[in-house]
Amino acid sequence: MMPDSLRKAAVAGQFYPANCQEITATIKHFNQDFQKIDLSETVKSIVPRAVIVPHAGYIYSGFTANMAYQFLKKAKAKRIIVIGPSHHHYFKGISGAYYEKYETPCGDLKIDSAYLFALSKEFNILFEPKAHAHEHSTEVQMPFIQHYFKESEVIELVYSDISVKTLANIVYALLSNPENLVVISSDLSHFHTLERAKQLDHSCLKAIETLDIEYFRQGCEACGILGIQAVILAANKLKLKSTLLDYRTSADASGDTSSVVGYLSAMLY
């Protein structure tokens, strides 16, 4: 099942810097901007069990993602499970990265393969190598995790054709274990005008804020919608709360309002 001991970084230099010093400098810059945000003491005190983060290039969505990691880093975790949609390879089910380590420009992360094997027996988690070979939705999270969680191990789960119920059962099991933190990766609407994108994305934001998946029916076009719905269902079962952290579009970075992509980050606690 393990053809190679290393899940190699496939999109370094494209979605995020290939150089460790550049990654460190980029995150430092995000944190300087983060410090300027006026957050309430109530929000500052939150320690999340799970976060929802975007997965575009750091120039577009890195700040939004980093904001979630600023809160997540307060939680001590043995392992962090990153769950994202497959963009390049169609298959039925969900696949785990059955490797020993996960490559990042700042050093390899240890994969908790023993836990993954145990999880796979319970939930039939496959190994689809093509699902991991070029998948950015999960990979772009790893440099953040390497930066903030030096001691934690990781698991990468990539889903394709899967039911929300099946995925929600997996997320529920993961969040029921206090040693775990869960990262759900998703962007929002793609390639609409700024005005239209905000209309569509509002339903996604409302669903996450209220933990009510009925709002998704009002036009939410998130590419990782299954993951978001799954974590909402699990959160309701576990009686977790939700707080939105950041929302923006690619227009904030590019200035192009004619065809934008939406990004959000949120935490469940």
What tens digit of pLDDT does each residue of 55-79 get?
Answer: 999 999 999 999 999 999 999 899 9
Residues of the chain with pLDDT > 90, as a percent, come to 98
- How many whole angstroms separate alpha carbon 96 and alpha carbon 127? 6
- Identify the CATH assignment for 6-32+43-268 out of 3.40.50.80, 3.40.830.10, 3.40.50.720, 3.40.1000.10: 3.40.830.10
Average pLDDT over residues 101-123: 97
- How many whole angstroms separate alpha carbon 243 and alpha carbon 188? 17
What tens digit of pLDDT does each residue of 151-210 get?
Answer: 999 999 999 999 999 999 999 999 999 999 999 999 999 999 999 999 999 999 999 999
pLDDT of residue 4 exceeding 80: no
Question: What does the pLDDT read at residue 7?
Answer: 97
C-alpha distance across the termini of the chain, in Å:
35
What pTM value is reported for the model? 0.97
SS3 of 183-230: the string is: EEECCCCEEECHHHHHHHHHHHHHHHHHCCHHHHHHCCCCCCHHHHHH
What tens digit of pLDDT does each residue of 117-142 get?
Answer: 999 999 999 999 999 999 999 999 99
Question: What does the pLDDT read at residue 76?
Answer: 86
Burial 6-23, CB ≥16 within 10 A → b, else e: ebebbbbeebbbeeeeeb
